[in-house]
Amino acid sequence: MGLVLDGLEKSGDIDKLVPMMISVDPWRDTVGQIRSYVGQFHPRLIGLTGTPEQVMSACKSYRIYASKPPDSDDDDYLVDHSVFMFLMDPEGFYVDHYGPDKDDEQILEQIKYHIRKYEAQFEKVSPLTKLWRKWTDPQPSS
């Protein structure tokens, strides 16, 4: 994930998204621990956690598998979970996802493709709209 974010930084696209990671172990992961953990990947990565109910609800919403061992009264356990990255648009709608079958370069190129595709939606204006903007936009003062 860090290499993907580094690539987005190099291409000038890092400000066009908000990278975040949701913990699947709310029983142990405090806000401070998550902050420290995500800092190891990239300084822009935001770490999220919550109550077990909130985290499991998020997992269910994104169809992420996460399972804490049943007999895990102490802190010495591993949470079994699926590993996916999701790309959402600025309104929070699903765009794409990336699993372990994609390498960092593939993920980077696909994210950049989706950014360009999203931006292109707003560049498509009719010639009449362009003319209207030219007439109505204030001219910069000299």
- Model confidence at 1, pLDDT cuts 50, 70, 90, reads confident
First-last CA distance in the chain: 46
Calculate mean pLDDT across residues 33-60: 93
Residue scoring higher pLDDT (69 or 17): 17
Helices 2-10 and 104-121 meet at what angle, rounded to 10? 50
Task: Name all contacts of 78-84 with Cβ < 8 Å and 24+ positions apart.
Answer: 79/24, 79/25, 81/24
Lowest mean pLDDT among 78-92, 105-119, 128-142: 128-142
For residue range 85-115, what is the model confidence (pLDDT) as tens digits?
Answer: 999 999 889 999 999 999 999 999 999 999 9
> What number of other Cβ atoms are within 10 A of residue 41's Cβ?
17
